[in-house]
């Protein structure tokens, strides 16, 4: 029985933060050594950070990555460690993993399949390494193997699938299995999306079963570069069973997962199979060997490995809360902001944003304790008094209710209730006189009185815009980050005032639809995340109909009367934008999903969506950065590109109107 203790360390890295990234790598090595692990797998591009964008092309960045690597090497005495960094060879740049053993560089493995969809743009910076090719490269005056390599370390064969390599149809793992690899390491930078972790788990378990090898997967952790969230969650598997499972959404900078793998058991399983064709004969090409003595390891009982973030009836609500809370925390500290400011309207969107700031503190303190949580934001004022959850929430979150003559007591009371329930600072001021001053100014310039009959949109928008300067000023005074409160449904149709409710340096809910946000608020009211209490006082928000409150109260304005029911808006968005359906096809989808509405009404809403979508791309281009949560993202910088100027589906919408007109009423 040959037992080897493996470690996988999820790291919270930052692009180009050389000292911080190196410190986390060394901390992971130290923790793995303390737990007597012999092999440590670290995430993809962990030296530079994954999200360096076009900075990868800088020769200075490439040189600094190698310099950091040489500083890490001496710390690997008695261990085998994989470290990710870019390597330039023959005029091209490659996404590579360097394997270190016992204080020496063994070689570099190139990623064969690059991620070029959605939030990933690897082909912009890297070239894919061709399968079966291996060569030599020079680093710091020494020559090392580079390419499609496997490593014989003390009689244990190691190979790599680097992130996307495991997601493609023809995985490198099959070739590794034919060469008798005992352990496959998968260093990844796999972004969070709803339901994605179950897919990862399947290819990890299936890889370990089909390839008859131990499989070690490790991911980045946290909000690395601003938009993308990495959920961590290392997994170690053998023979189709999970041996080790790491926590997801950890607030720690380093989260280590360990397991003991039985190498002989995997080899016996491989010998029993009849469908694996081994490569026979002498084949030393692409094989790097080194002497290594493994520390004796004891077998560990196999216990059920359950990820609480992927189980239960409210998986989406749980993962949304944890992912955005962690992303807010990382954005806060990596931007060196001293807190958050939220313009709290009393409605669902701003309440959701404020609540997520509160859960950020609660989750962080529950995991780290108040002192460690506070120490990760070392620049805060009056540190000595920040000793409890309440103290930290009050320090980090300020909410402001800004009323006009069109504001109701309902939203005023709801805003105060939400802020007090969370424990935030709450301010209230009236901006109506500022609104009237602008109205008077423009009335004079136009030579007439402005009226709701004639100037509805302008009169609505000025109220939202007047609310911007005050909260911006407050955020500046506090050194805080102003959070915008627009959601994805509103972004799709431009139901937001630029420089009004879109004001902010970060838009944390712009990646999620309004229907889900309302569902999530009800869940927070009645159930809440695992380990936190429900918030019954949210009824002050959830019992309202969503409204912008920009028209006189007598108008009875609601969002859905202005637009359409949010469930229908979101359904059209999925059909039109995610699934790229034509207006008529989207209309047909709606008819099947919402048979209680007339076809004429559904056609009217479909046309409204397409017209507003085309008209408002310029707004989406100007939104503050938002978090990526699923494949329905509308962020034009990372996911969904659309021309600012277009024909606006003119012909297609005419066909829709003609077909709808022929339908019986």
Spatial separation of the C-alpha atoms in residues 265 and 268, rounded to whole Å: 5
Q: Structural domain tally of the chain?
A: 3
What pLDDT does residue 22 have?
Answer: 98
What are φ and ψ of residue 158, in 5° steps?
A: -115, 140
Spatial separation of the C-alpha atoms in residues 469 and 464, rounded to whole Å: 10
Start-to-end CA distance of the chain, whole Å, equals 77
Spatial separation of the C-alpha atoms in residues 410 and 323, rounded to whole Å: 31
Site of tokens 């928008």? 461
Spatial separation of the C-alpha atoms in residues 456 and 598, rounded to whole Å: 29
User: Quick one: pLDDT band at residue 283, thresholds 50, 70, 90?
Assistant: low
Contact 210, 177 (CB under 8 A): yes
What pLDDT does residue 302 have?
Answer: 62
DSSP, res 628: -
* Same structural domain, 151 and 291: yes
Contact 10, 246 (CB under 8 A): yes
Spatial separation of the C-alpha atoms in residues 41 and 244, rounded to whole Å: 13
Q: How many CB atoms lie within 10 A of CB 312?
A: 10
The number of CA neighbours under 13 Å toward the Cβ of 59 is: 2
What angle is formed at CA 356 by the lines to CA 351 and CA 359, rounded to 5 degrees?
125
User: Quick one: pLDDT band at residue 426, thresholds 50, 70, 90?
Assistant: very high
Classify 558 in phi/psi space as left (phi over 0), alpha (psi -120 to 50) or beta. beta
Contact 260, 367 (CB under 8 A): no
Q: Domain range holding 466?
A: 315-559
Q: β-strand 241-245 against 156-160: which pairing, if any?
A: unpaired
Q: Name beta bridge partners: 343.
A: 400
Q: How many CB atoms lie within 10 A of CB 474?
A: 17
Last residue of a domain, one of 559, 582, 615: 559
CATH classification of the domain holding 489: 3.40.50.620
Instruction: Enter the tokens of residue 635.
Output: 């962020």
What is the chain's Cα-based Rg? 28
Which tens digit of pLDDT belongs to each residue from 435-470?
999 999 999 999 999 999 999 999 999 999 999 999
CA dihedral 564, 565, 568, 573 (to 10 degrees): 60
Which tens digit of pLDDT belongs to each residue from 224-274?
999 999 999 999 999 999 999 999 999 999 999 999 999 998 898 888 876
What are φ and ψ of residue 509, in 5° steps?
A: -110, 15
Spatial separation of the C-alpha atoms in residues 41 and 218, rounded to whole Å: 7
* Same structural domain, 290 and 325: no
**pLDDT at 640 exceeding the cut of 60:** yes
* Same structural domain, 568 and 536: no
Spatial separation of the C-alpha atoms in residues 292 and 482, rounded to whole Å: 53
DSSP, res 589: H
For 123-130, the CB contacts below 8 A with 24+ separation are 124/54, 125/53, 125/54, 125/56, 125/57, 125/86, 125/93, 126/56, 126/86, 126/92, 126/93, 126/94, 126/95, 127/92, 127/93, 127/94, 129/94, 129/96
Is residue 399 within a helix (H) or strand (E), and if so which, with residue range? Answer: strand 397-403
> Measured between alpha carbons, how far is residue 244 from residues 212, 284, 300, 306, 308 in Å?
17, 32, 10, 10, 14
Which tens digit of pLDDT belongs to each residue from 519-537?
999 999 999 999 999 999 9
Spatial separation of the C-alpha atoms in residues 172 and 205, rounded to whole Å: 16
Q: How many CB atoms lie within 10 A of CB 168?
A: 12
Closest CA to 368 of 221, 529, 251: 251
Q: Which residues contact residue 163 at a Cβ distance below 8 angstroms, ignoring those fewer than 6 apart?
A: 44, 111, 115, 186, 187, 188, 189, 190
Spatial separation of the C-alpha atoms in residues 503 and 343, rounded to whole Å: 9
Higher pLDDT, 554 or 342: 342
What pLDDT does residue 384 have?
Answer: 53
Instruction: Enter the tokens of residue 320.
Output: 């949304």
Average pLDDT estimate for 296-303: 76
Spatial separation of the C-alpha atoms in residues 336 and 332, rounded to whole Å: 6
Closest CA to 485 of 467, 459, 462: 467
Last residue of a domain, one of 544, 559, 574: 559
User: Quick one: pLDDT band at residue 309, thresholds 50, 70, 90?
Assistant: low
What pLDDT does residue 269 have?
Answer: 84
* Same structural domain, 483 and 581: no
* Same structural domain, 470 and 531: yes
Q: How many CB atoms lie within 10 A of CB 297?
A: 20
* Same structural domain, 247 and 374: no
Instruction: Enter the tokens of residue 205.
Output: 């378990």
* Same structural domain, 250 and 111: yes
- Supply the pTM of this predicted model: 0.95
Site of tokens 């879109």? 502
* Same structural domain, 19 and 150: yes
Which tens digit of pLDDT belongs to each residue from 376-412?
998 886 655 677 899 999 999 999 999 999 999 999 9
Closest CA to 25 of 63, 70, 89, 91: 70
Which tens digit of pLDDT belongs to each residue from 1-36?
799 999 999 999 999 999 999 999 999 999 999 999
What pLDDT does residue 47 have?
Answer: 98
What pLDDT does residue 549 have?
Answer: 84
* Same structural domain, 380 and 527: yes
* Same structural domain, 64 and 208: yes
CATH classification of the domain holding 638: 1.10.10
Average pLDDT estimate for 419-445: 96
Last residue of a domain, one of 507, 538, 559: 559
* Same structural domain, 305 and 320: no
CATH classification of the domain holding 295: 3.60.110.10
Closest CA to 471 of 460, 482, 487: 482
* Same structural domain, 569 and 517: no
Contact 106, 288 (CB under 8 A): yes
**pLDDT at 278 exceeding the cut of 90:** no
**pLDDT at 543 exceeding the cut of 90:** yes
Alpha helices in 574-622 (DSSP H): 583-593, 599-615, 617-622
What pLDDT does residue 280 have?
Answer: 56
Give the burial class of 227: count Cβ atoms within 10 A of its Cβ; 0-12 exposed, 13-18 middle, 19 or more buried.
buried
Site of tokens 């009423």? 665
Spatial separation of the C-alpha atoms in residues 607 and 611, rounded to whole Å: 6
What pLDDT does residue 140 have?
Answer: 86
Closest CA to 271 of 177, 151, 174: 177
The chain-wide mean pLDDT, for the chain, equals 94
Closest CA to 474 of 399, 424, 416: 399
Spatial separation of the C-alpha atoms in residues 148 and 176, rounded to whole Å: 10
Spatial separation of the C-alpha atoms in residues 548 and 556, rounded to whole Å: 10
């Amino acid at each position: 029985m040959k037992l080897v203790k493996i470690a996988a360390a999820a790291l919270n890295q930052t692009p180009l933060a050389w000292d911080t990234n190196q410190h986390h790598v060394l901390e992971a090595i130290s923790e793995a050594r303390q737990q007597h692990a012999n092999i440590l797998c670290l995430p993809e591009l962990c030296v530079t950070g994954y999200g360096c964008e076009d900075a990868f092309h800088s020769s200075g960045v490439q040189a600094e990555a190698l310099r950091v690597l040489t500083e890490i090497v001496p710390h690997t005495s008695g261990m085998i460690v994989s470290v990710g960094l870019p390597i330039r060879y023959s005029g091209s740049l490659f996404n590579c993993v360097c394997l270190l053993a016992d204080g020496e560089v063994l070689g570099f493995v190139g990623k064969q399949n690059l991620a070029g969809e959605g939030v990933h743009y690897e082909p912009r910076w890297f070239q894919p390494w061709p399968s079966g090719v291996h060569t030599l490269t020079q680093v710091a005056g020494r020559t090392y193997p580079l390419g499609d390599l496997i490593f014989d370390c003390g009689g244990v064969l190691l190979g790599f699938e680097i992130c996307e390599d495991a997601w493609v149809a023809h995985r490198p793992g099959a070739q590794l299995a034919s060469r008798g690899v005992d352990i496959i390491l998968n260093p990844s930078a796999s972004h969070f999306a709803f339901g994605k972790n179950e897919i990862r788990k399947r290819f990890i378990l299936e890889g370990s079963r089909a390839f008859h090898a131990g499989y070690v997967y490790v991911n980045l952790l946290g909000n690395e570069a601003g938009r993308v969230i990495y959920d961590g969650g290392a997994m170690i598997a053998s023979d189709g069973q999970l041996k080790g499972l790491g926590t997801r959404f950890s607030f720690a900078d380093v989260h280590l997962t360990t397991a003991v793998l039985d190498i002989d058991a995997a080899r016996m399983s491989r010998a029993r199979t009849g469908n694996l064709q081994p490569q026979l004969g002498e084949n030393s090409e692409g094989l790097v060997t080194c002497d290594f003595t493994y520390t004796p390891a004891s077998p560990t009982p196999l216990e059920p490995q359950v990820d609480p973030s992927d189980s239960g009836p409210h998986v989406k609500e749980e993962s949304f809360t944890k992912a955005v809370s962690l992303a807010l925390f990382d954005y806060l500290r990596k931007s060196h902001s001293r807190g958050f400011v939220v313009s709290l309207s009393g409605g669902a969107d701003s309440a959701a944003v404020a609540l997520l700031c509160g859960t950020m503190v609660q989750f962080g303190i529950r995991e780290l304790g108040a002192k460690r949580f506070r120490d990760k934001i070392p620049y805060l004022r009056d540190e000595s008094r920040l000793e409890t959850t309440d103290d930290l929430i009050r320090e980090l979150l300020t909410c402001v209710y800004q009323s006009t003559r069109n504001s109701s007591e309902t939203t005023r009371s709801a805003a105060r209730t939400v802020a007090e329930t969370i424990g935030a600072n709450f301010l209230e001021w009236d901006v109506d006189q500022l609104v009237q001053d602008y109205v008077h100014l423009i009335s004079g310039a136009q030579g007439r009185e402005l009226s709701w009959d004639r100037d509805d949109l302008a009169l609505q928008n000025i109220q939202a815009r007047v609310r911007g300067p005050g909260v911006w000023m407050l955020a500046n005074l506090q050194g805080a980050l102003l959070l915008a409160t627009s959601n994805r449904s509103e972004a799709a149709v431009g139901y937001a005032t630029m420089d009004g409710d879109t004001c902010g340096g970060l838009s944390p809910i712009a990646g999620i639809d309004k229907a889900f946000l309302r569902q999530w608020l009800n869940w927070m009211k009645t159930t809440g995340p695992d380990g936190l209490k429900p918030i019954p006082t949210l009824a002050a928000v959830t019992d309202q109909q969503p409204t912008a409150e920009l028209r006189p109260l007598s108008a009875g304005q609601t969002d859905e009367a202005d637009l359409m029911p949010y469930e229908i808006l979101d359904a059209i968005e999925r059909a039109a934008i995610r699934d790229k359906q034509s207006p008529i096809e989207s209309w047909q989808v709606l008819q099947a999903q919402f048979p209680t509405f007339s076809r004429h009404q559904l056609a009217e809403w479909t046309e409204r969506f397409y017209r507003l979508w085309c008209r408002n791309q310029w707004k989406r281009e100007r939104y503050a950065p938002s978090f990526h949560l699923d494949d329905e993202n509308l962020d034009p910088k990372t996911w969904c590109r659309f021309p600012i100027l277009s024909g606006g589906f003119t012909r297609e919408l005419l066909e829709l109107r003609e077909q709808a007109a022929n339908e019986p009423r």
